[in-house]
Amino acid sequence: MRIAQLAALLGAAMLPFTGPTAAPAQDYPVREIRTICPFAPGTGADIVVRYYASKLSDLAGKPVITENRPGAQGLLGTEAVARAKPDGYTISINPVASTMAAATHIFKKLSFDPLHDFEFGGTLLSVSFVLVVAPRDSIRTVADLTKYLKEKKGDSFYGGSTNTGIVASELYKNAIGVDVKRVNYRSAFDGLNEMMSGNLDFYFTDTTTALGQIAAGRYRPLAVTGTKRSKALPDVPTMTEAGVPMDFAPWWGLVMPTGTPKPVVGKLTGWFDQIAAMPETSEFLARNGLDPMPGDSTALRALLIKDMARWGEWARLAQIEPQ
């Protein structure tokens, strides 16, 4: 009888042990979640991340801590996500079109693989960039700026802190046939402050970052990069309307390290779907010049693949040599 009991115990020990592996997905989260923002505090990206982090905390019932990892046009923070432990406690509310799709053509080599080093939770929103200048009386339109740059005969500078802003600037300068030199900055605020000092001639930044500064009269908006006018800047024309064809509306998505358990990914995606349906989210997006862009993980992956190809074409058109 004892031999039979021992055999039963040994047999049970050989069976797959499912309890502890199933529990994390069922009980998730049991502690705070960290969301990595690949841009500096106070930027448009930071504002977006902190809004979604706050709403996620309400739904998940745990703190959601925003960790800023700026640098290399968003690559440092995005790499940190790829290298994090895939347990669902490190995520990124991320401008994927810039940090992944564009980055594959802006840089010679990435420290991560956009299609294999991440789990995708879904798309969230899109945002146009806006061309701004210091408020000079002589420059009120894109045509005015073009004339001004041509008169400077190559002694011109623009600032860049994101892939999208750099490509938009390069497409603009190539379209008007003027040599404008680029100065790189860690954040949009650094570049915008330089422009106020007279060291830069123009800057393409995200609408979210620009709105408050525009309202305060620090910068003058000339055009937006999307195919439609921004609801937040209805009187500002698109670049295409201003005579420079352009279609740039970077989009955001939820990403986490590859290997994050599927049930956890599903939980997070469900919570973000709830956030998207909130009336306050619609108000937040409209107030910050953003457009809702709901979509599942399949849609995110398909859009990333599409935009990786489009960004390759845009980078070639802009004659940008990978760094």
Q: pLDDT band at residue 24, thresholds of 50, 70 and 90?
A: low
Q: Would you say residue 295 has pLDDT above 60?
A: yes
Q: Would you say residue 1 has pLDDT above 60?
A: no
Closest by CA position to 48, among listed 237, 272, 245:
272
| CB within 8 Å of 265: residues ≥ 6 apart | 88, 119, 121, 256, 297
Q: Would you say residue 7 has pLDDT above 60?
A: no
Instruction: Name the amino acid, one letter, at 293.
Output: M
User: Distance between CA 3 and CA 310 in Å, rounded?
Assistant: 69
pLDDT in tens, 32-62: 999 999 999 988 899 999 999 999 999 999 9
Question: What pLDDT sits at residue 10?
Answer: 41
pLDDT in tens, 242-260: 999 988 888 999 999 999 9
pLDDT in tens, 188-237: 888 888 888 889 999 999 888 889 889 999 999 999 998 888 888 999 99
Architecture of domain 32-127+249-317: 3-Layer(aba) Sandwich (3.40)
Q: Would you say residue 8 has pLDDT above 80?
A: no
Question: What pLDDT sits at residue 51?
Answer: 98
Instruction: Name the amino acid, one letter, at 198.
Output: G
Question: What pLDDT sits at residue 171?
Answer: 87
Q: pLDDT band at residue 25, thresholds of 50, 70 and 90?
A: low
Average pLDDT over residues 272-277: 97
Task: Judge residue 321's burial from the number of C-beta atoms within 10 Å of its C-beta, 0-12 exposed, 13-18 middle, 19 or more buried.
Answer: exposed
Domain boundaries, the chain: 32-127+249-317, 129-224
CATH superfamily of 129-224: Periplasmic binding protein-like II (3.40.190.10)
Start-to-end Cα distance in the chain: 74
**DSSP β-bridge partners for residue 220:** 133
Q: Would you say residue 108 has pLDDT above 70?
A: yes
32-127+249-317 and 129-224 agree in CATH topology: yes
User: Distance between CA 113 and CA 110 in Å, rounded?
Assistant: 7
